[in-house]
Amino acid sequence: MAGRRVLVIGGTGKIGRPLTALLRERGAEAVVLARGPGPGGIALDTADAAGLEAAARGFDAAFLTTPLGPEEAAIGTAAVAALRRAGVSRIVYIGIHNLEAMQAIPHFAAKIPVKAAVLECEGGTVLQPNFFFQNDLLALPAIVHGGIYPMPIGSAGVWSLDAADIALAASNALIDGKGLGAAVNLCGPEALTGPAYAANWSAALGRPVIYPGDDIAPFLGAMEQAIPGFGDWEREDFRLMMEVTQTLGCPATGADHAATRAILGRAPRSHRDFIADALKEETPA
């Protein structure tokens, strides 16, 4: 599919930005669709299904992320239907690892009907990543300057991975058809707990970084300060996400690791690799 047209819906996000760059490097014409897409992009709210259908005509493939919020399921299923009406033959959607097991979290449950709609498409693929390393960036000042890792991940363990690896998996699905017709779990190379996250940051910084415990309230307060528009719905969603994660973790199986390596074509990056890059950006030469 190199040289073909790919619509990157949500192309200004953590995955969309590196994905757009990868697609263009591989010769695809990648066009960003977002509220503020930048030069050459399409300015549109994903909730505008009629506008999305019109914008998607002439594209061979589309990458789809859905916006966090109480209308996510409705927006996502309508978007899939719009892409199908527009004649888009390949749709790659970003779901979440262990979606059904952790559906007590509202934004996990919202993705289940969207996942089903995508997999009904002949050219549909659902990528299901574990937690993102990039979540750390929301707390970077507290980590680097305060010596605290404040994300209340708990001790059950998550298999986080780099958003850049998710973008690579998406580019391979869109261009090469890897994972076509399937839900593909994506995970990082190791289980990470709250204390393990802190230990990795401590090793990279050469000074103590502590994990203060599993209290969720301070984390929610920090998210209100860090995320514009963080309201009551988001507060409850994030609270449940941390409660469920502390209880269940977000585990990965041997099959998940094999699926990740297969769609990437290599092993996923480690948390320590991510930290090294994050610190280079924090303190440029």
At a CB cut-off of 8 Å and minimum separation 6, what does 120 contact?
A: none
- The predicted structure's pLDDT at residue 283: 60
- The predicted structure's pLDDT at residue 129: 98
Q: Apex CA 162: angle with CA 160 and CA 168, to 5°?
A: 125
Q: What does the pLDDT look like over 62-120, one tens digit per residue? A: 999 999 999 999 999 999 999 999 999 999 999 999 999 999 999 999 999 999 999 99
In angstroms, the CA 107 to CA 97 distance is 12
Q: What does the pLDDT look like over 56-70, one tens digit per residue? A: 999 999 999 999 999
Whether residue 1 is predicted with pLDDT greater than 50 in this model: the reply is: no
| Mean per-residue pLDDT, 145-163 | 97
pTM higher than 0.85, yes or no? Answer: yes
In angstroms, the CA 32 to CA 28 distance is 12
In angstroms, the CA 116 to CA 63 distance is 16
At a CB cut-off of 8 Å and minimum separation 6, what does 22 contact?
A: 167, 168, 171
- The predicted structure's pLDDT at residue 3: 62
- Residue in this structure with the two tokens 């089903």, named with its chain if needed: 116
Say if CB 192 and CB 224 are below 8 A apart.
no
Ordered structural domains, the chain, with CATH = 5-132+161-187+253-269 (3.40.50.720)
pLDDT band at 226 (very low <50, low <70, confident <90, very high): confident
Q: Out of 1-10, 80-89, 145-154, 234-243, which region has the weakest mean confidence (pLDDT)? A: 1-10
Report the number of secondary-structure helices (H) and strands (E) in the chain.
12, 7
pLDDT band at 143 (very low <50, low <70, confident <90, very high): very high
User: Quick one: three-class SS letters along 26-60?
Assistant: CCCEEEEEECCCCCCCEECCCCCHHHHHHHHCCCC
User: Would you give the DSSP letter of residue 180?
Assistant: T
Bridge-based pairing of strands 61-64 and 42-43 is unpaired
Average pLDDT over all residues of the chain:
95
The end-to-end CA distance of the chain, in Å, is 39
